[in-house]
Amino acid sequence: MDWSIAGILALDGVTTGAIYALLALAIVLVFAVTRVIFIPQGEFVAYGALTLALLQLGRLPGTVWLLLALALLAAALDAIAGLRRGLAVGTLAIGALRSLAFPVGVTVFALWAAPRQLPLLVQSLLTLAIVTPLGPLVYRLAYEKLADATVLVLLIVSVGTHFALTGLGLVFFGAEGFRNPSFWDARFNAGPLTLTGQTLIIFMVSIALIVALWLFFERTLRGKALRATAVNRLGARLMGISTSGAGQLSFGLAAFMGALSGLLIGPATTMFYDSGFLIGLKGFVAAIFGALASYPAAALGALFVGLIESFGSFWASSFKEVIVFTLIIPVLLWRSFQHGHGDDEE
């Protein structure tokens, strides 16, 4: 190995690390706010990449129908709960209209736009608009009723949701993989290193998103409400913060970051309906570095995972995954020595 090879590997590792960082941040965010270990995070990556791939082919992706079905289901549940509480039908109808307006709008637009093969950027925005609302809807339908259950129960629900979403992915996108076109075809040479436009976009978007998240948590009322919920659910509730709203918001952010990662990684590799799982798991390993609590530690952990993966594939390609996932063990050991064997349940 010489410097040029090390440089190429490092660049490759940092690039995938940037994607893992987005996922790790989303996993930390969801866990901090709702105590859900969000295994289906990776599914949003696959949904994002493959929804765009189908739009590119001029076909209507099945995720649109999923969005519509989940939205209708959630609205129906709302209506039933409202009737039980004896709310007026008019109030209920307005509520249903408000919650259905966006999904129906997106569906109609997607129906119109799919065969027209609009520019890549418009299709990307449409993809985000389709996949992002899936997050809050998944929270509403799968987790909300169990919000006070133990971490273990929530984890089991996560596993179930993961399988359901992967299975639906197979129905929507088929068994074969897709590769999306690059957002920016430019190439920059710096010695032995070749920086592609796509790599630059990955870096810029990741950094921009991390900064935006920081601003959101530090400067906005909603961000602060999320932080408050993360610190103490009951306390936040007593202060008038809706924990259900906080849960939906965090899942929405997670789905957005997942779909965005999918758009970013789509042109760099072949995505299958089930590729998201492994990518999400690596994000999870990174999140473990931050003890599912610290955002900077999780982001650094993600870069570390990316680098280890890249160098591991050079030195011992058959043991690459083993190396990456074995990393968890020393980290967990160190964490448990540091904190003792306290019960993490609240």
**Which one of residues 84, 191, 219, 317 is an interface residue with another protein (CB under 8 A)?**
317
Q: CB 215 → another protein: shortest distance, Å?
A: 29
Q: Which of 269, 284, 292 is nearest to 324 (CA)?
A: 284
Torsion angle, CA of 238/240/241/245, rounded to 10 degrees?
A: 120
Rounded Cα gap, residues 180 and 183, in angstroms: 9
SS3 187: strand
Residue of the chain from 86, 191, 240, 318 that contacts another protein (CB under 8 A): 318
Annotate each residue in 150-169 with x if it binds another protein (CB under 8 A) or - if it does not, as one string.
-----------------x--
Q: Residue 178 — φ and ψ, nearest 5°? A: -130, 155
B/e letters for 324-334, b = 16+ CB within 10 Å, e = fewer, are: beebeeeeeee
> Which region, judged by CB under 8 A, interacts with another protein, from 78-86, 106-114, 177-185, 238-246?
177-185
Q: What angle do CA 72, 115, 164 make, to 5 degrees?
A: 40
Q: Closest distance between another protein and the C-beta of residue 53, in Å?
A: 10
Site string for another protein, 7-46 (x = CB under 8 A): -xx--x---x--x---------------------------
Element (H, E) at 195: strand 193-196
CB of 190 to another protein, least distance (A): 16
The one segment of 202-210, 247-255, 261-269, 291-299 that binds another protein by CB under 8 A: 261-269
User: Minimum distance from CB of 148 to another protein (Å)?
Assistant: 34
In angstroms, what is the minimal distance from the CB of 203 to another protein? 16
| Nearest CB to another protein, comparing residues 50 and 292 | 50
Q: What is the C-alpha separation between 143 and 243, in angstroms, rounded?
A: 12
